[in-house]
Structure 1
């Protein structure tokens, strides 16, 4: 086993930090996140309440390297991290960002410009897989001149995230000789049962008294009948004809079999979206309780800890606002895997030509 007694000190800034999923994962993996930047003021409380980092409410387009330098101590390795929202491919939406940006990919370009001027030691970007086919991704890679750059499409269910979520992960470094890659697999997939099976039962429209986020949206009578007729892993085709919605009767409706579906206990969940609290928005029905998953269950499937705080005590829980924060988050576990991969890389680069990145990765994981 390699000596891990002196782990490298890495300081990070998380661009487009949201509620803190990537930040929390980086911290759990051993990286000190000093600050997070996001345009959405709703992110401030969950980001700062759960992470020892400062929230900066700014548009990344308006940031300069000078703004970020105070968060990178000279004696520590610097990491610029983030998940730039991509409007054409993602449901990500923050305030009026979609109206302001349209389809111009300006946020990805701004991330690249910050890398060019700030020149951090390490860079990571997480995004939708479709970004790889767009010209702005090539431009982003061009901004990493002088770095060793690698990227891959990560199937999240293979690295400890209990959902079928595919993400592009880019890693870049000025250190060492080897390119960096996230491990392809880190054990058997986690299931819905393993993730949320121990939460107390609640009914549709009910909020658990000890956890305000364990709150399930209400169902009207027809949707209550529909979920009672739904089988885990099944589709609306299992229903009696009188329960079918008008869209199901059209030719276009047959291409959406997962809508109004239940999750399966012993399989990963589907990809969490900003509308994951709604039974009719996908396969977001609870495996056995007649309701959609709660906001807490959605957050746990995104690998946020069960005690992660999203709203101040006494404030109302709003489904749309919190669904957006949870669904748009980088899964915490993905951030942790990125952190450990980067730490393994730094350790291997320090150890010299005889060191293997795989040796350190195996030890850390």
Structure 2
């Protein structure tokens, strides 16, 4: 039994990887042609829409809607670009006019068309400080103070949103993300689902949706990676049997630096030779202390970013070997399966093209295990609802295998 789903801003397909076990993906939307090529390598292209979501007309959405045979969509997933909401954004939250931030409103637009039974939304933790996100919540809730619909043409949702660390959901890295689950409201009034605002201006739900997965602590980095038995590499090396298991070369100076860095969590603060320290790092109150550091097999990885291949951009040194982590290691830390393919060029074959493009896809992805925790929860809810329905064959857009 599979339910129906749509994956907006699908990226390299991390969420679709979590979805495909229980859901029939009716459509995935990705704007970037190179990233879409990676998606197609792993999930096919028949349901993939490579287009700016803002330019997808209602006529096209209705054509996709026809695949549901008159039923509502079961699950709408959206993981819009997060860069404009990041804490590293140079613009203040209140005045940030990054055009990408407006993309979250496309979720409201698509929800109006498909009336999904559930919504799953993911972004950076800092999004909660942005006014546009507050508006987004109000539009999804679509409730007046008495618990009735504000706009009769749009669905209303009982929401729950929290900031989570992926390490508590089976992912061996510290990665804070804001996750939102929404369940369609079918009976009114519903005063539990009203969106309010705290004294500090932070939005909250009167009584959040009582639906959330149980935490599952991830294994340490070493335990997670040991089962894959990856080959050892030198700096700049590549595994001939797995082309994604390749790492950047290091300059002679950086090779000296990493050799001077203690194994399993060592950092530049432990270098004994002052000449190894960059002048900019000798100044007081310098941040980015993880730069030139090693990961620790006995702990969890730091957040995998788009710069995860660079020893100079974070704690991306291998715990034991004198090199930065490989692309395969980065993908495995993001909990992509070992067989997952990436390409760095438009229409490219597996592992072709730019390593930088592949690193960006890996760093921006939703960790598969994190997505699975929430996707599986929603699937089980749909199964329970299906079984309790007096006319299960009429419930939602279910297909049987």
State the TM-score, normalizing by the size of structure 1: 0.85
Matched residue, 2:292: 260
Checking the alignment, whether the CA contact within 8 Å between 1:15 and 1:38 is kept in structure 2 is: yes
* Alpha-carbon separation, structure 2, partners of 1:180 and 1:193: 35
* Alpha-carbon separation, structure 2, partners of 1:70 and 1:163: 40
Matched residue, 1:88: 84
- Structure 2 counterparts to residues 53-64 of structure 1, below 5 A: 54-64=47-57
Matched residue, 2:171: 161
* Alpha-carbon separation, structure 2, partners of 1:338 and 1:327: 20
Checking the alignment, whether the CA contact within 8 Å between 1:115 and 1:143 is kept in structure 2 is: no
Matched residue, 2:334: 302
1:192 aligns to 2:221 (yes or no):
yes
- Structure 2 counterparts to residues 42-191 of structure 1, below 5 A: 42-52=34-44, 54-72=47-65, 73-74=68-69, 75=71, 77-90=73-86, 102-103=98-99, 105-144=101-140, 145=142, 146-174=156-184, 179-186=209-216, 188-191=217-220
For 2:352, what is the secondary structure of its paired residue? coil
Measured against aligned partners, the alpha-carbon deviations of 1:193-233 in whole angstroms (never above 9, x if no partner) come to 12323211111111111111111000001100111111222
How much does 1:65 deviate?
Answer: 4.2
- Closer, same or farther: CA 68–91 of 1 in aligned 2, 3 Å: farther
How much does 1:136 deviate?
Answer: 1.4
1:246 aligns to 2:256 (yes or no):
no
Checking the alignment, whether the CA contact within 8 Å between 1:262 and 1:284 is kept in structure 2 is: yes
Matched residue, 1:225: 256
Measured against aligned partners, the alpha-carbon deviations of 1:168-206 in whole angstroms (never above 9, x if no partner) come to 1111122689925432512x3222112323211111111
Matched residue, 2:312: 280
* Alpha-carbon separation, structure 2, partners of 1:24 and 1:211: 20
- Closer, same or farther: CA 139–117 of 1 in aligned 2, 3 Å: farther
* Alpha-carbon separation, structure 1, partners of 2:325 and 2:210: 36
Checking the alignment, whether the CA contact within 8 Å between 2:85 and 2:101 is kept in structure 1 is: no
How much does 1:89 deviate?
Answer: 3.0
State the TM-score, normalizing by the size of structure 2: 0.78
1:323 aligns to 2:323 (yes or no):
no
* Alpha-carbon separation, structure 2, partners of 1:164 and 1:34: 32
Count of aligned residue pairs for this structure pair:
336
Structure 1: give runs of 5+ residues left out of the alignment.
Answer: 1-6, 93-100, 354-365
* Alpha-carbon separation, structure 2, partners of 1:163 and 1:172: 26
Structure 1 or 2, whichever has the larger Rg, is: 2
For 2:4, what is the secondary structure of its paired residue? strand
For 2:245, what is the secondary structure of its paired residue? coil
